[in-house]
Structure 1
Amino acid sequence: MMPFPAREARAAKILVVGDVMLDRYWFGEVDRISPEAPVPVVRVARREDRLGGAANVARNIAALGARVALVGVVGADEAGARVGALAAEDGIEAHLVEDPDGMDTTLKMRVLGRQQQLLRVDFEHAPGARALDGVDDRMADAIAGCQLLVLSDYAKGTLARVEGLIQTARAAGVPVLVDPKGHRYRRYYGASIVTPNRNEMQDAVGRWDSEDDLTRRAQALRAELGLEALLITRSEQGMTLFTGEGRRHADAQAHEVFDVSGAGDTVLATLAVARAAGLDWYESMLWANRAGGIVVGKLGTSIVSVEELS
């Protein structure tokens, strides 16, 4: 495995476009059951906000030393302002579109007692057409000087026009890395690599009954979409990369799984930074696999540093 290209990463710039979220955590202690219903009572002692979704991808890219720009949609609300402030703190060049039609910022609120998640409450609304116009415009401006475009699709609506975003990147000569959602993979035609997880791959090609069957289905999908590579993240089974040269696999490296939330963002970010820094897809996958093994041992949406990787 080649050394992580930290120096080259610092010279790279990556653009992230996708569904921006705010992850809000309320930490507390549980020592009794509510007399009103059979639920635990959490006495909140600490609150913490973290960037989520595409913003967490950008945060992880910044933590690995690369420059990063972020395009996404937020609402004219407290959560949207918080996203902007956290992005600035993490050194992210944020080009956030404030939805003019009153959309609220996507917010995931988690309540934890004794470090265990007890409840998650989601607030989300799809952006309107005028907000999507803003995404198109901001992306076209921000892509100048970037070595790679990352499209982070959480099916919240920001990438409703993903075909046009890919075309814009291709016209600028910028490779495109897509973290997909759903089963309509023709939307991602022309990307450089698509990185579905195991369930997302099954949505796209159906269930496979052997590794040979998976290889046939994966290579057929790669050819259909015109991809350089297709990377399947498979949880405890590791990661499998398909290119024109064949199939390469890496076993999972997690020693202890504590929390998988945001792990896919860290994997995506590490893959993007390694590739933008000059590594091939296989070496980039190996570093992404290592980063994923580290971050699942942390609580909530977290980052991995170059020092931890090394």
Structure 2
Amino acid sequence: MMPFPAEAVSRVKVLVAGDIMLDRYWFGEVDRISPEAPVPVVRVARREDRLGGAANVARNIVALGAQASLLGIVGSDEAGGRVAALAREAGINSCLVTDDTSPTTLKMRVLGRQQQLLRVDFEEGPGTQCLDRLDALARQLIAQHDMLVLSDYAKGALDRVEVLIAAAREAGVPVLVDPKGHLYQRYRGATVITPNRSEMQDAVGRWKDEDDLERRAQKLRTDLDLEALLVTRSEQGMTLFSEEGREHTDAHAHEVFDVSGAGDTVLAALAVTRAAGLSWFDAVLWANRAGGVVVGKLGTSVVNAGELS
């Protein structure tokens, strides 16, 4: 495995566009059951906010030593203000579109004794005017970056993903997509897409063996005019499909504690190492290592270059 290209990574500029979320954690102690209903009573002792979704990808890119700009939509609310503040603290260049009619996507988790007891989601899709502003801003920003990463969580910011891919192709900027859903024609013309095992099954159906998977994956890759397709497979590792064929690496995790945001870390590591000049498969090896580190942490977390080395 090639050494981590820290010096080259430090010169990389990545634009992350997609669904921005705020991950809010309430940590507490549980020592009794509520008399009102058969549920635990959590006495909250600590609160913590973290960047989620596309914002977590950008946070991971900065943690790995590269430069990240974040393009997405937030509400004109307290959660949107927290996203802007956390991005600033993390050293991310924020290019946020504010929606006055819809709230910031917020995932609130309640944890007791390091176990997640409850998650409450607040979300609404953005309006047409916000998407118009996002598209216009994207056209200005894409050519200033070495890579465009599209983080799709199906919250609405990438409803016009085809427009962003076309703009990047026109500018000669590679596009990495973390996809959602099964309508993969939306991502036609991207450079690489990174579905997980479940998302790949949604897109191509269930495969009966590795040869069948390779046939389906290569057909999808050529149908979508992709340079490469990476299937992330949890404990089974990662499999890359390209013109060179199939290349596989086994999972790197020693202990799985929490998979929240692991896909964001994998996407970030793949983007920065590929933009730094590594081959697709060498970039996959580093992405696999980053994913193996982050699942040993609690909640939406990041991996830095020191931890990888």
**In the TM superposition, what are the counterparts of 1:86-101 in structure 2 within 5 Å?**
86-100=86-100
**Whole-Å Cα distance in 2 between the matches of residues 213 and 69 of structure 1?**
39
**In the TM superposition, what are the counterparts of 1:98-113 in structure 2 within 5 Å?**
98-100=98-100, 102-113=101-112
Once the two structures are superposed, residues 84-143 of structure 1 have per-residue CA deviations (whole angstroms, 9 ceiling, x without a partner) of 00000001001000014x110000000000111000000000001001011101111122
Q: Match for 1:270: what amino acid?
A: A
Match of 1:302 in 2: 301
Q: CA deviation at 1:258?
A: 0.4
Query: Contact (CA 8 Å) 2:143, 2:168: kept in 1 or not?
Result: no
Give the TM-score normalised by structure 1: 0.99
Q: Match for 2:275: what amino acid?
A: A
Match of 1:220 in 2: 219
Query: Contact (CA 8 Å) 2:5, 2:276: kept in 1 or not?
Result: yes
Match of 1:114 in 2: 113
Q: CA deviation at 1:246?
A: 0.3
- Please state whether the residue corresponding to 1:279 is helix, strand or coil: coil
- Please state whether the residue corresponding to 1:215 is helix, strand or coil: helix
Match of 1:19 in 2: 19
Once the two structures are superposed, residues 238-264 of structure 1 have per-residue CA deviations (whole angstroms, 9 ceiling, x without a partner) of 000000010000000111100000000
**In the TM superposition, what are the counterparts of 1:1-310 in structure 2 within 5 Å?**
1-100=1-100, 102-310=101-309
Query: Contact (CA 8 Å) 2:11, 2:66: kept in 1 or not?
Result: yes
- Please state whether the residue corresponding to 1:27 is helix, strand or coil: strand
**Whole-Å Cα distance in 2 between the matches of residues 208 and 277 of structure 1?**
34
- Please state whether the residue corresponding to 1:202 is helix, strand or coil: helix
Q: Match for 1:71: what amino acid?
A: L
Q: CA deviation at 1:144?
A: 2.7
- Please state whether the residue corresponding to 2:258 is helix, strand or coil: coil
- Please state whether the residue corresponding to 1:132 is helix, strand or coil: helix
Q: Match for 1:41: what amino acid?
A: V
**Whole-Å Cα distance in 1 between the matches of residues 266 and 18 of structure 2?**
16
- Please state whether the residue corresponding to 1:118 is helix, strand or coil: strand
**Whole-Å Cα distance in 1 between the matches of residues 138 and 113 of structure 2?**
42
Q: Match for 1:269: what amino acid?
A: A
**Whole-Å Cα distance in 2 between the matches of residues 138 and 25 of structure 1?**
31
Query: Contact (CA 8 Å) 2:28, 2:43: kept in 1 or not?
Result: yes
Once the two structures are superposed, residues 254-310 of structure 1 have per-residue CA deviations (whole angstroms, 9 ceiling, x without a partner) of 111000000000000000010111101100000000000000000000000100000
Q: Which runs of 5+ in 2 are unaligned?
A: none
- Please state whether the residue corresponding to 1:11 is helix, strand or coil: coil
Q: Match for 2:77: what amino acid?
A: D
* Alignment root-mean-square deviation, CA: 0.5
Once the two structures are superposed, residues 118-175 of structure 1 have per-residue CA deviations (whole angstroms, 9 ceiling, x without a partner) of 0000000000100101110111112232110000000000000000100000111100
Once the two structures are superposed, residues 50-109 of structure 1 have per-residue CA deviations (whole angstroms, 9 ceiling, x without a partner) of 000000000000000100101000001000000000000001001000014x11000000
Aligned length: 309
**Whole-Å Cα distance in 2 between the matches of residues 10 and 144 of structure 1?**
18
**Whole-Å Cα distance in 1 between the matches of residues 82 and 143 of structure 2?**
27
- Percent identity (aligned): 73
**Whole-Å Cα distance in 2 between the matches of residues 82 and 138 of structure 1?**
22
Q: Name segments (4+ residues, structure 1) moved above 4 Å.
A: none
